Chains A and B, each alone.
Chain A
Amino acid sequence: MIEFTYWDIIRNLLLATRWTILLSLVSFIGGGLVGLIVMSMRISKNRIVSAIARGYIELFQGTPLLMQLFLAFFGMALLGFTVPAWLAAGTALILWTAAFLSEIWRGCVQAIAKGQWEASASLAMSRFEQMRYVILPQAIRIAIPPTVGFSVQVVKGTALTSIIGFIELTRAGTTLTNATFQPFLVYGLVALIYFALCWPLSKSSQILERRLNVSHNRH
């Protein structure tokens, strides 16, 4: 049997952390893009379009991320090709992230006073132009703190992908536990690494939020 030093354990965990970070980034960016579309649909004046978006959000916020991962994994397999774990993981996480970000952002857009829509409408701007030049620049400012805050949920969400076989930090922890029989140490370290990834994000979200409240209404 191979002997693992502390350093071996830490090194292996850190190597696996790369995949946690990469998957988080992909999910967050992809989820942001899809979320922007879902959010636009959700605030659309067309009832059907808006209802579709609402159904999407309800579905992904009302079911466990783990089920979404399973369904992506086994559902894509039904389409007739073997699905690599990273693909199912990325797909499910992107769709899940989009559902949450779109709702966060909708709240921010709706926090912008109705008069801003009306003033820009009275200046003959189209709905898209109102959104692009007047509403979004204001909404983005207030959207940044909760968006950064949600990125923590995304990082933590990637842990579930270990269950469908994506090899990231948690999965590496399980493997190392089985090899070293030191679950207390290994899972403690895994938790610390997640903490090191997430805590700065949580903290900056709080700081940004506080700064926004102080400079209320300032440009």
Chain B
Amino acid sequence: MSLITVTDVRKRFGENEVLKGITLEVGRGEVVAIIGKSGSGKSTLLRCINGLEQINDGAISVAGAQLLPGEAALRQLRLKIGMIFQSFNLFPHLTAGRNVMLSQQVVKKTPAPEAEGMARRMLEQVGLSEKFDAYPDELSGGQQQRVAIARALAMEPMGLLCDEITSALDPELVSEVLAVVKQLAAEGMTLVMVTHEMKFARDVCDRVVFMHQGRVHEVGPPAEVFANPGTPELKQFLGML
């Protein structure tokens, strides 16, 4: 059964239609890579799935529940699906540990000791157990992004949306973040990743979605998509033309 179902979703910014009828299913435990040129609507799609943008048409459902506008419905959705951003967006006034604890305490009303225990476990999972008391500006980009992952994981989501989570990192820091994601995938976490790391997509993902001009242009297992791209657009994108 699929965890995320996107049906004929359209999204406009003013006159500019950015998503022109997207249909996509993501199964439980599946790892999906979304690739495509800049401006093709990848971020917008993820943001719609997380309710950060309201769709103009179509439907999105997560774990069987339809995504509706309104704060209560959004809250339910976001408890199921977490999101990691390109720019980390850690809360600069809180330590790494408090970043991970905050929404547990505020949203789930988890008592402090338990939230702290969870935060320590999650930071350990991303290899940062000794950084509990560090503030974000004392961490490298790669470390900050790993804290952001721990922060999302602490909410125990069923799936994670990752929007170019390594694009803002210095090249030597990319692998430490990807290693964490790879481990999550191995443990069965559902992941939808917008990424430019083609090698990673090939090695880790179950399926690759190529977006072009607001549409899903091609879908398939990585072996097929990368070896035998069916359309000139994808060939061009992969640098094969």
Q: Specify which chain B residues have a CB less than 8 angstroms from the CB of A141 in the assembled complex.
A: 93
Contact across chains for A123 and B52 when beta carbons are under 8 A apart: no
With A115-B87, A133-B106, A137-B93 given, is the CB distance from A121 to B52 under 8 Å? Answer: yes
Contact across chains for B137 and A115 when beta carbons are under 8 A apart: no
Q: Specify which chain A residues have a CB less than 8 angstroms from the CB of B93 in the assembled complex.
A: 137-138, 141, 219
Task: Count contacts between A and B, CB distance < 8 Å.
Answer: 71
With A122-B78, A123-B78, A123-B152 given, is the CB distance from A115 to B89 under 8 Å? Answer: yes
Q: Specify which chain B residues have a CB less than 8 angstroms from the CB of A125 in the assembled complex.
A: 103, 106-107
Minimum C-beta distance from B145 to chain A (A): 12
With A217-B137, A219-B135, A219-B137 given, is the CB distance from A124 to B89 under 8 Å? Answer: no
A67 at the interface (CB under 8 A from B): no
Minimum C-beta distance from B131 to chain A (A): 14
Nearest residue (CB) in B for A113 is: B89
Cα distance A138–B74 when bound, in Å?
Answer: 25
Q: Specify which chain B residues have a CB less than 8 angstroms from the CB of A126 in the assembled complex.
A: 71, 75
A58 at the interface (CB under 8 A from B): no
B85 at the interface (CB under 8 A from A): yes
Cα distance A138–B87 when bound, in Å?
Answer: 18
Cα distance A121–B90 when bound, in Å?
Answer: 12
Nearest residue (CB) in B for A116 is: B89
B189 at the interface (CB under 8 A from A): no
Nearest residue (CB) in A for B102 is: A133
A118 at the interface (CB under 8 A from B): yes
Minimum C-beta distance from B112 to chain A (A): 14
With A134-B91, A219-B137 given, is the CB distance from A123 to B155 under 8 Å? Answer: yes
Residue of B51, B82, B103 touching A120 (CB-CB under 8 A): B103
Contact across chains for A115 and B85 when beta carbons are under 8 A apart: yes
B92 at the interface (CB under 8 A from A): yes
The A122-144 residues at the B interface (CB cut-off 8 A) are: 122-127, 129, 133-134, 137-138, 141
With A121-B52, A123-B152, A218-B137 given, is the CB distance from A129 to B85 under 8 Å? Answer: no
B194 at the interface (CB under 8 A from A): no
**Interface size class, chain B:** 20 to 34
Cα distance A118–B102 when bound, in Å?
Answer: 15
A163 at the interface (CB under 8 A from B): no
Minimum C-beta distance from A47 to chain B (A): 15
Minimum C-beta distance from B63 to chain A (A): 14
Cα distance A118–B51 when bound, in Å?
Answer: 10
A71 at the interface (CB under 8 A from B): no
Contact across chains for A122 and B52 when beta carbons are under 8 A apart: yes
Contact across chains for B155 and A124 when beta carbons are under 8 A apart: yes
B5 at the interface (CB under 8 A from A): no
Cα distance A125–B148 when bound, in Å?
Answer: 15
Cα distance A133–B91 when bound, in Å?
Answer: 10
Contact across chains for A124 and B91 when beta carbons are under 8 A apart: no
Q: Specify which chain B residues have a CB less than 8 angstroms from the CB of A113 in the assembled complex.
A: 89
Contact across chains for B78 and A124 when beta carbons are under 8 A apart: yes
Nearest residue (CB) in B for A218 is: B137
Q: Specify which chain B residues have a CB less than 8 angstroms from the CB of A138 in the assembled complex.
A: 91-93
Nearest residue (CB) in B for A124 is: B78
A119 at the interface (CB under 8 A from B): yes
Nearest residue (CB) in B for A134 is: B91
- B contact set with A: CB distance below 8 Å: 50-52, 71, 74-75, 78-79, 82-83, 85, 87, 89-94, 102-103, 106-107, 135, 137, 148, 151-152, 155
| Seed contacts A122-B78, A133-B102; 13 additional CB < 8 Å A-B pairs | A115-B85, A119-B83, A121-B51, A121-B74, A123-B151, A123-B152, A125-B103, A125-B107, A133-B106, A217-B92, A217-B137, A219-B93, A219-B94
A-B contact pairs, 14 of them (CB 8 A): A116-B89, A116-B91, A118-B52, A119-B85, A120-B103, A121-B50, A121-B51, A121-B78, A122-B83, A123-B102, A126-B75, A129-B106, A129-B107, A134-B91
